[in-house]
Each structure stands twice: as structure tokens, then as C-alpha cells.
């Protein structure tokens, strides 16, 4: 799991990019705390061939599930 809560844009998507480039995971769970980060991560994920699913947590954060 990659926790990007509290990071200002563009840091959340850059953290996801580093993780994907370093490990090329088949799946990745990301926690974010604002919709701009969610949208940016979804766009990047799609460009890398991932599908995404977004769930809102009880705390009002977002769980983004990337999968190939």
C-alpha cells in the first residue's frame, strides 16, 4: 500500500509513478485524501495499462486500487 495522504499535487501521482516504475506491480493500493490526486493517479494508471477502482473510506479518504 502506498499512502499519499497529506501530499500536495503533483507529489501523489509522482509517488505512484516511482512505485510503478521501480516495481511494476500487477496491483497497487493507494490512499489519497483529495479528488485531484485521485484523478491524476487514475490518468497515469490508465496510461500504463492499469484499471482503477476508487472507494471512499469511512474517514473521507480515497482508496485507489490499480490492477492489470
| DSSP class of 33 | S
pLDDT of residue 17: 98
Length of the chain: 68
Contacts from 45-49 at CB under 8 Å and sequence distance 24+? Answer: 45/16, 48/20
Give the domain range for residue 39.
2-67
3-state secondary structure 38-60: HHHHHHHHHHCCCEEEEEECCCC
Domain count, the chain: 1
Task: Give the model's pLDDT for residue 9.
Answer: 92
Give the per-residue pLDDT at 18.
Answer: 97
User: Over its length of 68 residues, how does the chain's per-residue pLDDT go in tens digits?
Assistant: 999 999 999 999 999 999 999 999 999 999 999 999 999 999 999 999 999 999 999 999 999 999 99
C-alpha 21/C-alpha 42 separation (Å) is: 16
Q: What is the pLDDT of residue 25?
A: 94
Instruction: Look up the CATH number of the domain holding residue 38.
Output: 3.30.110.40
Per-residue pLDDT, 24: 93
Amino acid at each position: 500500500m502506498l499512502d499519499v495522504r497529506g501530499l500536495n499535487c503533483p507529489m501523489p501521482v509522482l509517488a505512484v509513478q516511482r512505485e510503478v516504475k521501480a516495481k511494476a506491480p500487477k496491483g497497487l493500493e493507494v490512499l489519497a485524501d483529495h479528488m485531484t490526486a485521485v484523478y491524476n493517479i487514475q490518468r497515469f494508471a490508465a496510461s500504463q495499462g492499469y484499471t482503477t477502482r476508487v472507494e471512499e473510506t469511512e474517514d473521507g479518504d480515497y482508496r485507489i486500487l490499480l490492477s492489470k
